Every structure is written in C-alpha cells, then in structure tokens.
Amino acid sequence: KVNTHDVISVSSAVGGWLLCALYSFINSIYLTELNVKTLYGWVEGTTRRALESNRDVYSFFGIPYARSPDYTFRFRPPVDPWVWEGVKDTTNQNVPFCSQDPVLLKNLRQDTWFSYVIDANNTMKEDCLTVNVFSPTKPSKVQQTKKLPVLVWIHGGGLSFTATTNKLWMLPAFEDVVVVTIQYRLGVFGFLTLEDNWAPGNTGLLDQVKALEWVRDNIQAFGGDPEKVTIFGQSSGGFSVSAHMLSPRSRGLFHRAFAMSGVAILPYNDPEFSKKNPAADALKLAEKLGCEFWDNAHTSTCLRNHVTTSEMLAATKSLQMRFGTNIDVDFFPDFPRHRLTANAFNKSIPLMLGVVSGEMDFILGEKMIPNYNKVSSHTPKSAESLIRNDLAKYHPQLKNPDRIVREYLTNIKPGIDTVKAESDYLTDSWYTSKLVTVANAHKGAGGTVYMYEFTKQPSLNQGLKPRPVDFKRADHCDDMIFFQGIPFLPGLKERGLTFTQGEKDLSRKLMNLLANFARNGSPNSIGSVSWPQYPEYVLINDTMSVHSGFREQKVKLFFEN
C-alpha cells in the first residue's frame, strides 16, 4: 500500500529541488564578471580607469533607487523602484539629469571647471532618481573580498540645478572605498509644497534619504560595507549632509559626515530664511499654469496630471520663483538652528567640515555681489550698504553692526580692494561663521569634529572665463577638485589641461585622508596623528599645516550681541 504522505513529501522535495535548480540556472545566466544582483534586479556594469592607476574600477551608471517621480508621484515622497526582469544595462555614463533650467547649467559649464566633469549632452527628465556606483571590487569576487567603506556623494547647486558627476571613479582607483553618487529632485520638482500630504515639500531631501536606504540594502553586493557609510557633499550638498545630521528621518543610514562649504544653517537653503509662506508660492504657480484652486487635493492633482515638465519650468522661471526647504513633519520638524541649539542632532557621528578662502570670489560672487563685473563701481560706501543689508537679513541678533563694517572696510580703497572686502565679508557671513557655529555645537555636545580651510587656487581654473578680479586663492568648489581626484581624470590633457606634480601629490594626499575618514572616523591613518580635532584646523595649500583660531578676529564678531 502506497503511503500518500510519503508521495507528497517526495513530490514536494523534488519540486523544491527543481525550483532551486531553476533559480540557480537563471542566476548562472545573469552572473558574469560585471553583473550584480540588487534587490530590484540585475545590473550590468563596465570598467573605468584613472590616470596613473592600474586598477580597474567597476562602474554602474543610472541604477534606479526609486520609482519615476513624474506625474503620479510628482511632489510626493519617493517610493521603491519597480522590480525589473533580465539585466539592466548600466554601462552608459550619459545618465539623464534631473529636470532643471538648462540655462543655469550651461552657464556653469561655460564659466567653470565643471565643464570637464559634467557632460554637455545629457538629457533632462523627471525620471532621474538614480545612483552611480564605483567599486574597486570585481563583482564576481565580492563574496571572497573584505567589505569596503562607502562614500556617498551629494552634489550642490542650491538645490535648484546641476547634477551628480558621473566621473567620480578616481577615488576607488587609488583607495579601497566604494563611491556612490546620487541624483535627487531639484527646484520646483523637489521642493514645491502645499504643506500637506498632497505635496509635503522637501521631497528632494527625502530622495536623498531613499538613496541612502538603497545603499543600506544593496551596497554589499558591490563590495561595500553598509555599516561604514560616509555622506559627503559640497555647497548645498554640504547643506544636505548637515541637514541629515539634524533630521530624525536620516538616523541610522550613515556613520560619518563630511560637509564642504555648506551646513544646514546656510542662509540660501535654511528654511528659516526661505519664504514664510511657501504654499502661497505653489498656489501662485498653479494659477499661472491654469490650475484653478478648489482645494489642495484638486490643485496638486492638476499640477501633477495636466502640466508638462517644460511648462512647469517655464512658469517657475517666468515668475522668478525659487523653491527651497520648509518645515515639515517628516524631515525638518523644526528650524535647523533650533535643533542645533537643543543638541537635537546625531552627536555620535564624526564630522568633517571645510571652507575655501574665497567662497564668494567668482562662482558665487557674480550672483551675490551687485555689479560684480564692474570693478571700478565698487566703493567703500556701496560695500557698507551690502554689509548692512546682509546683517539685517541674516544676522538680526547683532546689536552693533558698526563693528563689523569697520572690521572689513577700514582703509579699503575703491575698486579691487573693495570687491575683495565684499567677498571676504560674505564668505565669513554665509560660510565661515555658519561652519564654526555647527562645529561648536557638535564639539560642545561631545562630538568629534575636524575642520580645514582650503586656500590653493588650482591650475585648472586657467583658460576658463576671464575673471574681472583674481585674488590668487581658492574659489567656491575648488577643494572638490583635489578630494575627488580630478587631476587623474582621463581626457583632460587632450583638452589642453594639465596639473602640476605638486597638485597630483596634493590630490593623492587628500583622497587618502578622505578614505581614512571613511574607514576610521578620522582623516589620520591609524597610528599617526597629523590632523588634530577642532578647534584646531588644517590649512591646505601646496602643503598642509595645523593652526588654531579659525579666522578668529573676524568670525567672533558674528557671535557678539
């Protein structure tokens, strides 16, 4: 007599074996030297190399970390990407940029060294929530290789424009780190808000959170260690890094933080200094686009379903609107300054902060200093007006602005001297004093802080747009060149651009310090002490030297009532 239970058991076992065999067979089809399996499907990579490195960097461009945010998901928090079948081709580095005003990006490329790291022929789409991954670990060897620390790059651009660089493979070409670069929604698409669930705002920052969740869940397949994630960014990317330190939404997703030329209390991005009623701007834009207001649900539905990307950008530009961060339930439950004061931030995370000597010299100077290009029109009187207006708007707590005016303008001559004084003041007002505020708060709460001032003017700036004044010092973004290894980017020499051996040596040194920070939470190698913790800081030029009293004489004036 046949035992039915035994037959069923054998059948189940055979069926299970067949399923496992089929699963293994399918995996064997996809498993090649350059393929990686993520939670959402397989991706195919390629290789890149840096100059003076014999190491292959396994590179993956445009991996989706969230569903397309156009139309149905426009203005809403990101959601997981769809699972795909087969192997997704992620070998093409011409990944679409997030939708933005193309004129702003074109001008940035024409005027600065960004023309060498941001491609000119990329398309722009709302469907842009992707990451690039660069790893020195061959995909087929991941299981046998020690997991490496991960560096996640958040690009700048005032939360309004630019894109992540797809040329950040120099770091893993020289250091044992995995690098991830992320894209997030910008401008109106990332920061429009009706201050409700229909359009909560800060979705660009929530995109960054979703990307960090993707890193946590997938980076091990690329050879990365999800328990050693460092976020780093510059300008509004630095703002974003600092914002994640303050946001309860980001806790547990990273373990070190490096903010370059930007923190969460940077006036341009801080919700405390943004428009007081951002929802009113959204309704004004809706009216411009023909979306009648019945209620928020109707308005947001109209903006999502009946307005094209180009129409949205054109209307925003026509109204001269800028959409920024806002207070919400999810990401920013309070103003950044208030959270700093209340020690409501992640004190256990080592923090590295950096500023350049001429933050407002050119890239930002053209935008922030009136009549920047008309040097002869700059007088101590016009500079005093600029300073007093800035103090009234961004430092209203200061009761004696005359002291600051005297500090920056005493014995200043009209013309170039005045332009430099204006740049120095705005650099300290917007950047130095803000970084010092964050450093003091973090250090005062028992945290670990490292700080630098970067002063070297790179030779890469030569041959670009002629500048009305040249103070022979670092401009906004110049430190990125060396921390990211741009001197070793292939193809620059063919475009007539060369770096000195000293610049290459400096870049190798800074890449190593960054990798050390990702590994150990300190830029120093284990067993060596060369970069002390804040309040001491490192001044970086052709060489590196340790100093104390970070721009003390001027910066202290911003803290006196």
Most confident of 218-232, 479-493, 537-551: 218-232
pLDDT digits (tens, 9 = 90+) for 326-347: 999 899 999 999 999 999 998 9
227 noted as active-site residue: no
DSSP conformation class of 96? P
- Report, in this order, helix, strand and coil percent for the chain, each rounded to 5: 40, 15, 45
Question: Cβ contacts of residue 143 below 8 Å, gap of 6+?
Answer: none
Choose, from 195, 359, 384, 503, the residue flagged as catalytic.
359
CA angle 373, 379, 382 (to 5 degrees): 90
296 versus 496: which is more confidently predicted? Answer: 296
Active-site choice (59, 235, 261, 357): 235
Tell me if residue 359 is catalytic: yes
Query: What per-residue confidence (pLDDT) applies to 21?
Result: 47
Range with the poorest average pLDDT among 36-40, 243-247, 452-456, 522-526? 522-526
| Residues 122-148 pLDDT 10s | 799 999 999 999 999 999 899 888 999
Query: What does DSSP say about strands 178-182 and 256-260: parallel, antiparallel, or unpaired?
Result: unpaired
Task: Give CATH for domain 351-559.
Answer: 3.40.50.1820
Whether residue 435 is predicted with pLDDT greater than 80 in this model: the reply is yes
pLDDT value of residue 47: 97
Say if residue 350's pLDDT is above 90.
Answer: yes
pLDDT tens digits for 162-207?
988 888 999 999 999 999 999 999 999 999 999 888 899 999 999 9
The pLDDT confidence band at residue 16, using thresholds 50, 70 and 90, is: low
Per-residue pLDDT band for 80 (boundaries 50, 70, 90) equals very high
User: What is the model's pLDDT at position 30?
Assistant: 58
Buried b (16+ CB within 10 A) or exposed e, 190-206: bbbbbbeebbbbbbbbb
* Per-residue model confidence (pLDDT) at position 385: 97
Q: What would the mean pLDDT of 34-52 be, rounded to a whole number?
A: 97
Higher pLDDT residue, 167 or 381?
381
The first and second tokens of residue 318, run together, are 């026509």
**What would the mean pLDDT of 435-464 be, rounded to a whole number?**
90
Confidence of residue 26 (pLDDT cuts 50, 70, 90): very low
| In the predicted structure, residue 19 carries a pLDDT above the cut 70 | no
Collect all residues with Cβ–Cβ distance below 8 Å to 23 and sequence separation of at least 6. none
For the chain, report the end-to-end CA distance as a whole number of angstroms: 97
Mean residue pLDDT of the chain comes to 91
What's the confidence (pLDDT) of residue 560?
Answer: 76
How many C-beta atoms lie closer than 10 Å to residue 525's C-beta? 14
- Residue 28's pLDDT band (boundaries 50, 70, 90)? very low
> Which listed residue (423, 429, 476, 522) is catalytic?
476
pLDDT digits (tens, 9 = 90+) for 467-507: 788 899 999 999 999 999 999 999 888 877 889 999 999 99
For residue 67, give both structure tokens.
């569903």
Domains 31-341 and 351-559 alike in fold: yes
63-67, 74-78, 294-298, 437-441: which range is least confident on average? 294-298
Q: Pick the closest to residue 519 from 150, 251, 250 (CA basis).
A: 150
Q: What is the reported pLDDT for 25?
A: 45
Q: Find the range with the poorest average confidence among 41-55, 456-470, 495-509.
A: 456-470
Contact assessment for residue 165 and residue 179, using Cβ atoms and an 8 Å cutoff: no
**Domain 31-341, CATH 3.40.50.1820 — does that match?**
yes
- As a whole number of angstroms, the distance between CA 386 and CA 422 comes to 8
User: Residue ranges of the domains in the chain?
Assistant: 31-341, 351-559
The pair phi, psi for residue 96, each rounded to 5°, is: -60, 140
- Asked if 98 and 445 touch (Cβ cutoff 8 Å), the reply is no
